[in-house]
Chain A
């Protein structure tokens, strides 16, 4: 599955780029200096990836404060920009984007970054995220990056380097692991991490859903269209673009496992997975069961699948010495007898929409000159999902240390729409791909 032969793979790019960035201490311009021009100025926002989620992120950014202007938009497909703009009309002049600042194609991200924006929202398929993040941070743009941060370990390492570079460049990175912003889960995990229920002894998290945007079995690539364009248009179905469901969707549950464990590094993972319902032309697994091993004999289980006509649930159960917490919806704690000992009650008047909280805090902090950077735990949660996926793919017990020795890079950054790009075979445990 490696494509190392290309000159410009993500990995080799990293080597050339800025090894120094990774060891740069947090310095940069004092935040207060920055605050002087951030407080009241109109912030120009560039949207990269104008699908449903990207457009949603733009709505939240524009709702965060009155002095935000959507300045530029980029998407692989121009049609997406059109429909996105239609959705944003309600913001009037603030969402009017001049035609010369609407960019399509795989290079649109760079054009948006270079268009004079202050902030970029990254919502293209995750396979592109490390490249987009790197370009944004190098250009000193404050960045909101949707989850997951990458689809492979070369990508995770790139994100970690971009994180360090962002600190040096004094620009913020905000992430899209939305549950970290929900007042309800913040309250629940705050109590867990505070030790209110005793030590965490185990977690069982599920993301069992139906199939989201599958490629139809009979879908045929139009004549003359390149592999890359076709695959990008069906991106959730291809591992090099989406990372597969465990990265694209159940990473929410994976991230909450990481959160419940205090974002400490795991030791290893063992897992199973495969394709049991799907027989379409995608190359992603449709189910995973992973056991993450943590220090002190704590094991965390992930049950993830996309099955039709089956039981569905998305539940986190965080077992602690003195009871357990069940979430993420209306989180509550129960004791060993099943008695509810705590439950979340929304605070009157507080913003409860986690997606909006995310952007409200992002922009309020920028205004106040607070430069946040959540790159490290974003990258760690992404790597945790990759650890689970690789354990399922290989059938092996994979340690965290070994994972970080991997430089797997599923696709070169230099791909063009018209390129031929064969889909990697579906991994079979025990079989070298």
Chain B
């Protein structure tokens, strides 16, 4: 599909991705299917513009070249490091064939999907990277409004303008989680609190997106959640089988932590495991199958019927908070749920153990098997797209 017909497809769907912005239309890297409704989070748009400008500037200063694997440091996460692997662009068949064992109806109809190049986290986001964002603690006891903005008027219900004051940095004023009453790592991992190399868990999709914004602001690179198509493309790594390594589920133990092998048998061995211990797929990605399930951006639609064949990086959007999509299955699931094409819709019950009303927009208190990994598109999209994909919104609380 050429660019102009792609744009024609976009326009009736999302007016957000406007053509009169400074970036040229080729930079639009997703094809929205459906809409989140009105422009999301207008109160944060200025912040997105600031971050976008910094990312564009940094890219201009760097020489373009071949995409390579790299390691990045997050200064605001006590210099935690994370590795990003290049994922080449290409075309793949999304969804599973009807004969696949364990297949569900929502994995079709199969679609030919085009994907542009991006980098993807070699492993799931770990606590050592996520923790500082989640706690956003400071010795001055600055508190956050309900929407995550800095609380300046001592009323947490009302958000205030997002302008830096005094020595505050851009990162300080970004929306970040409110302080939890209970510890939200649920003593997972090594059993004694935050466990650096275990996947961060139990966050909402909104929290994961805001983390990406926070990480982008401090690194100058554009990070976001993967689209569902990007995720499956990366998981398959060229394969067409049920799992990235083939159809034989008996080999899954070599590649994944799931119900069969993630059992506890020692004091500090909990159900999920440190990232990167199992074999990677053909593109070097670990734990795409199992360990924690991974957020993608998309809302959950019961099929791919609305996604035309040949679409470039589709993302199915909805203004509804539930259901959204998680992928890859997790340590409490059986093999079927870990297949490359398997999709899992989110549900309000994932917040069930939150005793407060309204429930927090940041935590899925009951989904301790839920995590995410990040991507970085090779092309920097227009500011509107960047904003949209960081703000598909907390939605209904």
Contacts and interface: CB of A to CB of B under 8 A. Distances in A.
B60 interface: no
A285 B137 CA distance: 18
B194 A312 contact: yes
B138 interface: yes
Contacts of B188: 329
A332 B270 CA distance: 10
A55 B187 CA distance: 27
Interface string A303-324: 0000011011111000000000
Nearest to A351: B352
A312 B185 contact: yes
Contacts of A352: 352, 366
Contacts of A216: 141-143, 151, 154
A395 interface: no
Category for how many chain B residues contact A: 35 or more
A404 interface: no
Interface stretch (B5-13, B79-87, B176-184, B221-229): B176-184
Given A53-B356, A312-B183, A313-B192, A334 B267 contact: yes
Contact of B357 (A52, A210, A277): A52
Most buried by A among B191, B270, B366: B191
Most buried by A among B139, B141, B186, B270: B141
A210 B352 contact: no
A430 interface: no
A214 B179 CA distance: 10
B357 A329 contact: no
A209 B181 CA distance: 8
A83 B356 CA distance: 13
Nearest to A236: B181
B140 interface: yes
Nearest to B134: A210
Contact of A308 (B139, B182, B270): B139
A353 B180 CA distance: 18
A273 to B, nearest CB: 19
Contact of A313 (B137, B141, B187, B397): B187
B157 interface: yes
A399 interface: no
Nearest to A358: B355
Contact of B191 (A315, A339, A353, A355): A315
B187 A210 contact: no
A59 B139 CA distance: 35
A59 B357 contact: yes
B141 A212 contact: no
Interface in B129-188: 135, 137-143, 151, 154, 157, 179-183, 185-188
B361 to A, nearest CB: 13
Contacts of B194: 311-312
A106 interface: no
B265 A87 contact: no
A6 interface: no
B180 A56 contact: no
A280 interface: yes
Contact of A214 (B143, B183, B352, B358): B143
Q: Which 9 A-B pairs have the closest CB atoms?
A: A52-B356, A55-B357, A308-B137, A313-B193, A338-B267, A214-B141, A56-B357, A87-B357, A312-B183
Interface of B: 135, 137-143, 151, 154, 157, 179-183, 185-188, 191-194, 264-267, 270-271, 352-358, 366, 368, 397
Interface of A: 52-53, 55-59, 83-84, 87-88, 178, 208-217, 219, 249, 277-278, 280, 308-309, 311-315, 326, 329-330, 332, 334, 338-340, 343, 352-356
Given A53-B355, A210-B180, 9 more contacts: A53-B356, A87-B358, A212-B179, A214-B143, A216-B143, A313-B192, A314-B183, A315-B191, A355-B353
